[in-house]
Chains A and B, each alone.
Chain A
Amino acid sequence: MGIPMLWLIVLFLIPFIIVFKISFSEVRLAMPPYAPLFEWLNGKLVAVKLNFGNYSYLFTDALYVSSYLYSLKVAAVSTVMCLLLGYPMAYAIARSNPTTRTVLLMLIVLPFWTSFLLRVYAWIGLLKTNGVINNVLMSMGIIHEPITMLQTDFAVYVGIVYSYLPFMILPLYSNLEKHDLTLIEAAADLGAGPFTAFRRVTLPQSLPGIIAGSLLVFIPAVGEYVIPSLLGRTDQLMIGRVLSDEFFENRDWPVASAVAIFMLGLLVVPMMLFQHFEKRTIEARK
C-alpha cells in the first residue's frame, strides 16, 4: 500500500506542485527556461520572486480568455451531442437480450482498443474537401461544390463525439442495465404512456449514469489536443493547443504552467464531482 502511494506522490503530486511553483516564475532564456523562485545567498533565503504577471497575462491577453471560453464551449457542446447520441444507444443495448447485448458491447468497445490517433486521422480522410463524404455527395448530385468540413467547429464536435462515445455509453449502459423493468410496467398499469414513463421513471434513475458519462467526456475534452490539432480551426485554438504551443514553441514554461494551473482550477469542481460519483458507484456495488 505504501509503494503506490509513494510512487504517486513523487510522480503525480510533486509534479503538480512544481507546475504550481513555476507558474509564478519569470521566463528566462536558459535551460531550464525559468528563473528560480528563491534566491539563495550563502545558504540564506534572500528573496522570493513571485511573478503574478503570468497570471495577469492570462486574464488580459485576449488569446487566453478566448481560448478558455472556446474550450469550455466546445467541450460542453460535444458532451451534449455525445449524450444525445449515446443515451439511446445505451438504452437499446440495455434492453436487448443477453446474447445480442454482449455482441453489441463488443462492437462498441472494439474501436476503443484501436488507436485513438488513427481513428481521428480517419476523419481527415472523410471530411477533407476532396474527401470521401464530399466525393460521395457530389457524385450523387446532392451538392455541386465541396463543403468545407475540416478545420471547423463542426469537425471538432464530430471528432470528440466519435472518440469519446464509448466513454459515454459504458457508464450509461451500466446504470440502465440495473433498472427494474417492472417499475415501467407498474407505471403503464397506472396509466402512463411510454414517454411519460420514460421521463418520470427511467430518466431520473439514469441520472447518475448521465452525470458520470458526461463528466468522463467533458473534463478531458476541455484539454483536448489531438482532435483540434488535426481537425480543428486554425484561427481559434483550444486551450490544450495553447498550452502546448506556449511550452514548445514559445518556450515560455512559466506561462504554460500558469495556463495549466488555471485549467486545473476550472476543472477542479467537475473532477471532484466525478470522484464523488465514482465512490458512490463503487459503494453501491458492495
Chain B
Amino acid sequence: MSTQPPGQAQAPYLRIENVTKRFGDFIAVNDVSLHVQRGEIFCLLGGSGSGKTTLLRMLAGFETPSSGKIFIDGQDMSEIAPYDRPVNMMFQSYALFPHMTVEKNVAFGLEQERLGRQEIKRRVGEILEIVKMSQFTARKPHQLSGGQRQRVALARALVKRPKLLLLDEPLAALDRKLREHTQFELINIQEQLGVTFVVVTHDQEEAMTLSSRMGVMNHGQIVQVGTPTDIYEFPATRFVADFIGSVNMFEGKLIEDEPDFVRIRSEELGGVIYVSHGISSAPAATVWVAVRPEKINISRRPPTPGSGVHQPEAGAGENVVRGTVKEIAYMGDMSIYLVQAESGKTIRVTIPNVARHMEDRITWDETVYLSWHAESPVVLTR
C-alpha cells in the first residue's frame, strides 16, 4: 500500500520503516511503515491500545523499536537519545515544569543548546508572541488556565525549531468551544512556521480537522493512510468505515460484477444494491456495502424512477428500502432517524434541519422509504 502522496518528488522527511515494538509477548506496534512529507500535518488516529502512542514515543526516542528503523531528514535515529534528536514533543498533560515561570519553561530547551542569553530572550519573546502568551511570562503554571498552559507547552516545543513536532492528544484536555478555536489556531501556527507536525489522537473530529493526511491504526498496524476525504469517503476496510463517523453496513453477495458497476443482493438489507463504480479487488463471494447516514434520503413515498435520486441504469426497487421510524434524535442542527427495515435491520439516517418550522416532519412509527444515490455506497471486501 503506497503511502506517498502522488506528485511529490522529494524524499520524505520522516521515514518509518518496518518498525515493530514488543513488550514481552505483547506486540504494540506491528511492522509499521510510513512516510511523512515536510510541512505536513499528519495524524495517527486510533483507539486505545492501537499502538499510536507507542509509535509516537518511538519517534521521540522514549522507546526503542524492537526492529525496524526511523529516519528523520535522512538521519537514522537508532542510536540517538531523546535529548539529541531534532524532535520535540507536546505532552498530553503539557508537562510544564511547575517550579519555573512561563519564560523559564520556554527558555529551558534553548538553554540546553548553549545559546547566548540575549538570543534566548529574543527567541522566547518571539514564540510567546506567536502563541499570544506574551503578557504571562512571569506566571507559574498553576497560575494559568488549561488553554494557556497548552499554548505555553506548544511554545516550549516550537522554540527550538525542531524538524518534527510531535503532539500527543493536543486537544483532549480542552472543552468543546476551546477545542474548535484551538484546532484552527494550531493550523495557523503550523502554516506560519512550516514545522512538520505528527499528531496522535483518538478523536476523529480532531484528526479530520487538523490533518493534511492521516493514518488509521488498529492493533498496532496502520490500516489506511490518506487525506481525510480519502479515509471518510473511500474507507479501505470495514474497520475504517466503522471507526470514522457512523456508517450503515450491509452484508451481501455479488450478483453482477462489471468494470463500471456492480450489483449486490443483501439479505440484511432486504433488497438489491446497485453501485455505479467497479470494485478494484478480486471478487469475493461475500462483500459489505457501507452507506453513510447523511447520504440516505428519507421520504413518505417511494422515489419515482428518473426523479434524480438514482441513476437510470438502476432497476426499480434497487437502492431503496422500506421501513418504520423507530427513534428520532433531534440535535438542533440535524436530526438522526433510526429506521427499522422490513428485514429487521436498523438503518441510521441523518437529515439536516433546513427549515425552522416543519409541521409536516416525519415522525415516529411512520412508514418511510429510504433511498440513496448509486455513487454513494462503498463496497468493502475486508
A and B touch in the complex (CB under 8 A): no
Q: Give the B-binding residues of A (Cβ under 8 A).
A: none
B interface residues with partner A (beta carbon < 8 Å): none
